[in-house]
Amino acid sequence: MLAQLNELHAQSIERLNQSTATAELEAWYKETLGRKGSIYLLTRQVGGLSPEERPAFGKQINIVKNELQAAYDSRLAELKGSELQAQMKSSAIDVTLPGRPQPKGGLHIISQTMRDIYRIFGDMGFQIFRSPEVETDAYNFELLNFPPHHPAREMQDTFYTSDEDVILRTHTSPGQIRAMRAYYPEPVRVILPGMVYRNEQVNARSHLQFTQVEGLAVGEDISMADLKGTLTDFARRMFGAGRETRFRASYFPFTEPSAEMDVTCFVCEAKGCQLCKYTGWLEILGCGMVHPMVLRNGGYDPEKYTGFAFGLGPERITMLKYGITDIRHFWENDLRFLQQF
């Protein structure tokens, strides 16, 4: 009988392993472990054994029963898994089809560039100060050391208004005087972002309005070395850690000494390309030490205070970064342009 049980066990396991569908498995269960299954039938034959043999046989039959049950459970899980797998495979989709399009908003690319600038200078303690776009001649020129008829005025083509003392600011620099007058006698560390206007023809390279970000730091211990350090840090965060800067002498009426800062070209890694006109350098900003007269006009005694100022053009930086060659894109508000950023 024991041999019969063992054979049943072996045969059942074999059949179990041969079953390939859950339906087949159900049938196996009924025949093997079901209420009138072969194990049950074998149990019924226990009566034919001697009382000595019965406990051992009973124990064995239980072992076999449990083993078959476990084998069944595991086979069932296995088959269910593969059936689910097969079913999922048959309902596969083309994953290369496009997704359901979501309407997309976006910040204007100049707003994004502005935020980069705000963040970098914000980390260095520069706060944002805004001042009017329609300005007086005094704030835009005279207080910044541009006397009337000074040649430096020719560097900026000005839009005049029907009030002869009122113009559209040609740079964000008038904010220097306004910020100093607002904060005197505290140290000053501000950036002055905003729109400026020049009477220029609108073409790929020039526009009658563009944005600028001016920076101003005034205190009792600020030197040209601080200017170089601050702006080099800015250039590395804006254009990449490996950038080198070059400062060369320049001229702005409101700074002395004045400089232009160039950054090693980030397109060609300073090897020379069309963007940097094969010089390896990109002109990024103008800067200098605040002219004593400007400090005085802001309320700060140049004997006691020094300061530096700089001005940069977000459009130029953006154009360099993305290879944009036509400045008119910025204010045309064509979604095909704006939504790329």
Partner 1 sequence: MRVPLSWLKDYVDINLPVEEVDRLLTNAGLEVKSIDTIGLPGAELEWEADKVVLGQILKVEQHPNADRLVLATVEYGAEETEIVVTGAPNLFQYIGEGDLTDRQLYSAYALEGATLYDGHSEELKKAKLKGRSLRGVYNRSMLCSEKELGISDEHEGIIIIEKDENSPDYQAGTPLVELFGDVVLEIDIIPNIARCSSMVGVAREYAALTGQPVRYPSYDVLMEGPDANARVKVRTEDPELNPRFAALIIDGIERKPSPYWMQHRLRLAGQRPIGVVVDISNYVMLEMGQPNHTFDYDFLRRRADQYAPEGPIEIITRLPHEGETLVTLDGVTHKLQPHNILVTDPISNLSVGGVMGGADSEIKPETTSVLLEAAAWNFINIRKTATQLGIHTEAAFRFSRGVHPSQALLGAKRAAELLRRLAGGTVAQGIIDSYPLVPAAEPITLNATYVRRLSGLDLSTEEIATLLGRLEFDVQTADSEHLLVTAPDHRLDIEGAHDLVEEVCRMYGYGRIPSTALSDNLPPQRGNLALEQEERIKDILVQAGVQETIGVRLTSRAVEALMLPKGSAQDAEPKRYVTITNPNSPDRVVMRQTLMAGLLEATASNSRFQERIALFEVGPVFLVQEEQQLPNEQMRLALVMTGQRDLSSWQDGKAGLMDFFDLKGVLERLFSILHVDVSYEAAEHPSFRPGRTARVRVGKNVLGYMGELHPTVVEAYGIRTEPKQGVMAADFDLNGIISRIPALFPFKPIYHYPAVREDLALVVSADTAATEVEAVIKHVGGFLLQSVQLFDLYEGGQIAAGQKSLAYHLVFQSPSKTLTDSDVRRQRERILKQLEKQIGARLRE
Q: Check if the beta carbon of residue 128 is closer than 8 Å to that of residue 193.
A: yes
Q: Which residues pair with 288 in a beta bridge?
A: 258, 309
Closer to partner 1 by Cβ: residue 25 or 283: 283
Q: Check if the beta carbon of residue 227 is closer than 8 Å to that of residue 233.
A: no
Using alpha carbons, list the distances in angstroms from residue 233 to 123, 190, 229, 230.
11, 16, 6, 5
Is 283 strand, coil or helix? strand
The residue among 71, 81, 62 whose CA lies nearest residue 22 is: 81
Closer to partner 1 by Cβ: residue 53 or 186: 186
Cβ at position 89, least distance to partner 1 in Å: 22
Cβ at position 9, least distance to partner 1 in Å: 56
| 319 conformational bin, left if phi > 0, alpha if psi -120 to 50, beta if neither | alpha
Cβ at position 325, least distance to partner 1 in Å: 19
Using alpha carbons, list the distances in angstroms from residue 229 to 16, 124, 275.
79, 11, 25
Cβ at position 232, least distance to partner 1 in Å: 5
Closer to partner 1 by Cβ: residue 68 or 196: 196
